[in-house]
Amino acid sequence: MKLGIVGLPNVGKSTLFNAITNAGAQSANYPFCTIEPNVGIVSVPDKRLDKLAEMYEPEKFTPATIEFVDIAGLVKGASKGEGLGNKFLSNIREVDAVVHVVRCFENDDIIHVEGSIDPARDIETIDLELILSDMEVLDRRIDKTKKMIKADKKYQAELEFFERVREAFDAGLPARSVNCTEEEAELLSTVNLLTNKPIIFAANMSESDFVNGIESNPGYLAVKKIADEQHAAVLPICAEIEAEISGMDAEEKELFLSDMGLTESGLDRLINACYSLLGLISYLTAGKPEVRAWTIKKGTKAPQAAGKIHSDFERGFIRAEVIAFDDLMACGTMAAAKEKGLVRSEGKEYVMQDGDIVLFRFNV
């Protein structure tokens, strides 16, 4: 799972990305390793997994991970190949979701490419480039659909839907803002549109606004309004604070955050928000050799979840022995939980739940 960080130049993308990357480099286990200068893998913070590690003292500890890509800054005309235009756009086409960093902090020393702070305008600028690029992709699909109609009239409805999306583009609206039925959403997902990717707007605020009152920052409110209209998520953040805490150890970090009246770093909130944005959940496996989180899509059934570990587990699936995290914690040990009958035996049709602790039985 890959997330692309996008935005205008000089809005705080690299500060945020470096905070992410740095946070990982500090971590002892596996959290974070840089593959390329602009790609970072970050572990998904999960307090349940930490608790399991305390319980089992495992030899290996493997959290779930997601990948962040610091995509080159965007300039006007990118869709026409300006600057890093085409490369930039193809980078975005490869990611599963987008974090759009929007500048909401005032600071005369830091140049804004447009000369003033105006988050609504900035979002519009980026959206427009992405929409222009999407128009080309959609037009090709519309041509194809028209040809298919000649052979089979049933494609007429598809064409009408695509044309409705095209009208939204003409009005300067991203694909994600179009109201869709479930079927239409399914159809739309078969066209790889930049403006249909799940998105989080990261409203990058000054330290004082972030600490003293997010809701009084007019930039944040403007971003929130747009996010609501587009069926998108919004996350207030201060990239500078994140950069500051990324170098701290766990204890220092907790102290620093509680001094500011916070419980969780923005980065942790961002990572968790991205995880749920992508419709992902984790199931957990626990034992002396390893405590580990496995990433699956919400709604995945037990055999397919088992297949994440090994294809044999799916092929030879017999059953899953499952306990909810809270039940295990309430009992203290797996043996006690078993005695109380809290470890359930689940079959092929079982839909995995977030935080399930699982042992798969299989036979090949």
Known binding residues for ATP are: 10-15
Smaller CB separation from Mg ion, 202 or 328 = 202
Span interacting with Mg ion, options 12-20, 77-85, 109-117, 215-223, rule CB under 5 A: 12-20
Pairing verdict, β 39-43 and 33-36: antiparallel
Rounded distance between C-alpha atoms, residue 168 and residue 128, angstroms: 12
Cβ contact 86:129 at 8 Å: no
For 296, the 3-state DSSP assignment is strand
SS3 state at 181:
coil
Q: 212 to 241, contacts with ligand ATP by CB under 6 A?
A: 238-240
Angle at CA of residue 241, ends 250 and 219, nearest 5°: 140
Count of CA atoms in the C-beta half-sphere (13 A) of 120: 8
Q: Considering the complex, what minimum distance in angstroms separates the CB of residue 237 from ligand ATP? A: 8
Binding to ligand ATP by residue 68, rule CB under 6 A? no
Q: Which of 3, 4, 6, 13 binds ligand ATP (CB under 6 A)?
A: 13
Q: Does 15 bind Mg ion (CB under 5 A)?
A: no
Q: Smaller CB distance to ligand ATP: residue 78 or 284?
A: 78
Q: Does 85 bind ligand ATP (CB under 6 A)?
A: no
Which does residue 107 touch among ligand ATP, Mg ion, none (CB within 5 to 8 A, set by kind)?
Answer: ligand ATP
Please identify the residue of the shown chain whose CB is closest to the bound ligand ATP.
73
Indicate whether 49 belongs to the interface with ligand ATP (CB under 6 A).
Answer: no
Of 130 and 337, nearer to ligand ATP (C-beta) is: 130
The CB-of-217 to ligand ATP minimum distance in angstroms stands at 11
Total residues contacting Mg ion by CB under 5 A comes to 2
The interface region with Mg ion, picked from 10-18, 162-170, 178-186, 321-329 by CB under 5 A, is: 10-18
Site string for ligand ATP, 119-138 (x = CB under 6 A): --------------------
Dihedral sign for Cα 256, 257, 260, 265, please. positive
4 binds ligand ATP (CB under 6 A): no
- C-beta of 125 vs 282, nearer to Mg ion: 125
Binding mask 175-214 for ligand ATP (x = CB under 6 A): -----------------------------xxx--------
Pairwise CA distance, residues 105 & 207, whole Å: 9
CA dihedral 70→75→81→83, nearest 10 degrees, is: -80
CB 42 within 8 A of CB 74: no
In the window 237-296, what residues touch ligand ATP (CB under 6 A)? 238-240
> Does the protein bind Mg ion through residue 91 (CB under 5 A)?
no
Under 8 Å CB-to-CB from 79, ≥6 apart: which residues? Answer: 85, 89, 129, 130, 132, 133
Least Å distance, CB 354 to Mg ion, is: 34
- The SS3 of residue 157 is helix
Local structure of residue 85 (DSSP, 8 states): H
Listed in order, strand segments (DSSP E) in the chain are: 2-6, 33-36, 39-43, 60-62, 65-70, 97-103, 199-204, 233-237, 280-286, 290-297, 317-324, 344-346, 356-362
Q: Of these, 3, 5, 11, 14, which contacts Mg ion (CB under 5 A)? A: 14
**Torsion angles phi and psi, residue 262, rounded to 5:** -115, 155
- Residues forming contacts to Mg ion in the complex (CB under 5 A) are 13-14
- Residues forming contacts to ligand ATP in the complex (CB under 6 A) are 7, 9-15, 73, 105, 107, 110, 204-206, 238-240
